[in-house]
A and B are shown apart, each in its own frame.
Chain A
Amino acid sequence: MSVMIKVDNLKKIYGSGFEALKGVSIEIKKGEIIALLGPNGAGKTTLISTICGITVPSSGSVLVGGYDIAKDYRHTREMIGLVPQEIALEPFEAVISTVRFSRGLFGKPRNDAYIEKILRQLSLWDKKDAKIRELSGGMKRRVLIAKALSHEPQVLFLDEPTAGVDVELRKDMWDVVSDLKASGVTIILTTHYIEEAEEIADRIGVINHGEILLVQEKETLMQQLGQKQLRIDLSEPVHSVPDALAQYGLDLAPDGASLLYTYDATGERTGITTLLADLQSAGLVMTDIQTQQSSLEDIFVGLVKEKQ
């Protein structure tokens, strides 16, 4: 797949002297969905705003579809649709006219059939003549999406699209996103929620303190996540893992009252059966057992902690 967006050593120092992006480099492929994951203040919005032309980079370069965002801003911006994190709409404007405005602003000739299509897709058609202030928060977010799609962009940025959105709208939104992906649109979304990234993204990027910590195929990441942990509670605490069980690489909980066994849940043999048998022959009495799966969340928290 060809590269749609190429960010190279991008730095952003705000007027206040704060360095929000510390040399970010990332390549986003044409037609993929990439989720940028990161805590508050990580620099997600700053990265997006810079690519879209809202903030001026301090150094580094960004190419969109092979065009430079500074030199060929008309080309790059025509290709991009942005759904901002904050809802910003004119309260007294009618839904359809604000969407039409967006299309015109991006240099596209009027096309009522297309506008109708996206409004219908976002279940906004019956609200087309309503004033923005008469809409609910979730509907306003849909209007923002409609505006972003109004000029048929090839790249769509969704900055925390599911903030304040109910389950149903979220589903609708993912349907729209899937349709867009099917038609070849590249989608970049930011989120705090790992499940969301898991649900929809092809690749996942983790960003914190203005740095990209990791960019990986979701599948690869999920394989790493295939690790499970079995926790065996003992009736009597032990001081050390009995020698007879050495081959399992068990960890002892700090209080000595439980043993922890890490295994690959995707493997054919987990070794649980033999472990339990050996445990019994070693004379240990179990009171309880439970399994845990490490989630993206664990990896994420681990990565973020590591860097701090």
Chain B
Amino acid sequence: MNISAIKSIYVYEMARFFRTLAQSFLSPVLSTCLYFVVFGTAIGSRIDTVDGVSYGAFIVPGLIMLSVMTQSTSNASFGIYFPKFIGTIYELLSAPVNFLEIVIGYVGAAATKSMFIGLVILATSFFFVDITIQHPFAMIAFLTLTCLSFSLLGFIIGIWAGNFEQLQLIPLLVITPLVFLGGSFYSISMLPPIWQTITLFNPVVYLISGFRWSFFGEADVDVTISLIAIGGFTLLCMAVIWWIFKTGYKIRS
């Protein structure tokens, strides 16, 4: 293991993040505030409670998940696409590193960034609503796994993408809709039965539900299923990355 290389990639990527700290910090805080104003206050005042939780508090886990998933994907995909785009990838390819070390460096950095953003959103939401986290360790575990798996997904997208459109394509067409329809802002039980069934095909539902359980002890689906879902998704991404590693897909000509 070239630990020094992993560290270099990680530190270098994090430096990029800290260079634009204000922006990295400000935009999630701002959008959280907006969500609270719109959903929590304006709409939420007309909704009493969901599963016994005030609507304002109810949306917090969904809001965090929404940001964390999109941030992980975009950070990680951009992180590896950018060197490809400007040509600095030559250095990674000629360095004494293997693909695993590259993945750990880039995905680790992307996951750390989105984790940080998730925690910032959580902290911000304390200003708006009262929340107690019933299962803090489970909360951290879900958050970490989500950051990790979506960063892996982002990395795969970044390797695959041949241009900026493709880079945006999957987040835009797949991830955002799934996340919005995955129960970020509502409980599945609020839907008509037919939609409840359809929604269960959306993998994101399990992640949000599990994460929400760690806050309120209430879930749309069994927590075990949530854990299996997120674990399975992480493994799937790892398998794809392993395949990319084996075949050199789109990395080395």
Binding site for B on A (CB under 8 A): 14-15, 52-56, 73-75, 77-78, 80, 82, 84, 86, 88-92, 97, 100-109, 147
Q: Is the CB of B90 within 8 A of A88?
A: yes
Q: Is the CB of A53 within 8 A of B94?
A: yes
Q: Is the CB of B94 within 8 A of A104?
A: no
Given A80-B94, A86-B87, A107-B96, residue A55 in contact with residue B15 (CB < 8 A): no
Q: Is the CB of B252 within 8 A of A105?
A: no
Complexed CA–CA distance, A101 and B83 (Å): 14
Q: Is the CB of A97 within 8 A of B15?
A: yes
Binding site for A on B (CB under 8 A): 2, 4-5, 7-9, 11-12, 15-16, 19, 82, 86-88, 90-97, 248, 252-253
Q: Is the CB of A104 within 8 A of B87?
A: no
Q: Is the CB of A82 within 8 A of B5?
A: no
Q: Which of A14, A89, A104 has the most chain B CB atoms inside 10 A of its CB?
A: A104
Complexed CA–CA distance, A29 and B86 (Å): 34
13 inter-chain pairs at a CB distance below 8 angstroms, sorted by A residue, are A14-B253, A15-B253, A52-B93, A56-B248, A56-B253, A78-B96, A82-B91, A88-B90, A104-B7, A104-B11, A105-B97, A107-B96, A108-B4
Residues of chain A contacted by B94 (CB below 8 angstroms): 52-54, 77, 80, 82
Candidates B9, B82, B93; contact of A53 at CB < 8 Å: B93
Complexed CA–CA distance, A73 and B93 (Å): 11
Q: Is the CB of A105 within 8 A of B87?
A: no
Q: Is the CB of A105 within 8 A of B92?
A: yes
Known: A75-B96, A82-B94, A105-B92. 20 other contacts (CB 8 A): A53-B94, A54-B93, A54-B252, A56-B253, A73-B96, A74-B96, A78-B96, A82-B90, A82-B91, A90-B82, A101-B8, A102-B91, A103-B8, A104-B7, A104-B11, A105-B4, A105-B91, A107-B2, A107-B96, A147-B91
Q: Is the CB of A105 within 8 A of B88?
A: no
Candidates B4, B16, B87, B93; contact of A109 at CB < 8 Å: B4
Shortest Cβ distance from residue B100 to the other chain A in the assembled complex, whole angstroms: 13
Q: Is the CB of B252 within 8 A of A55?
A: yes
Binding site secondary structure of chain B:
helix
Residues of chain A contacted by B90 (CB below 8 angstroms): 54, 82, 84, 88
Shortest Cβ distance from residue B89 to the other chain A in the assembled complex, whole angstroms: 8
Shortest Cβ distance from residue B105 to the other chain A in the assembled complex, whole angstroms: 9
Task: Kindly report which residue of chain B lies nearest to residue A104, judged by CB atoms.
Answer: B8
Complexed CA–CA distance, A90 and B248 (Å): 24
Q: Is the CB of B5 within 8 A of A105?
A: yes
Residues of chain B contacted by A104 (CB below 8 angstroms): 4-5, 7-8, 11
Residues of chain B contacted by A88 (CB below 8 angstroms): 86-88, 90
Shortest Cβ distance from residue A170 to the other chain B in the assembled complex, whole angstroms: 23
Shortest Cβ distance from residue B90 to the other chain A in the assembled complex, whole angstroms: 5
Residues of chain A contacted by B11 (CB below 8 angstroms): 104
Q: Which of A101, A104, A105 has the most chain B CB atoms inside 10 A of its CB?
A: A105
Q: Is the CB of B95 within 8 A of A105?
A: yes
Residues of chain A contacted by B82 (CB below 8 angstroms): 90
Residues of chain A contacted by B96 (CB below 8 angstroms): 73-75, 77-78, 106-107
Candidates B5, B16, B91; contact of A107 at CB < 8 Å: B5
Complexed CA–CA distance, A88 and B90 (Å): 8
Residues of chain B contacted by A107 (CB below 8 angstroms): 2, 4-5, 96
Given A14-B253, A84-B90, residue A74 in contact with residue B248 (CB < 8 A): no
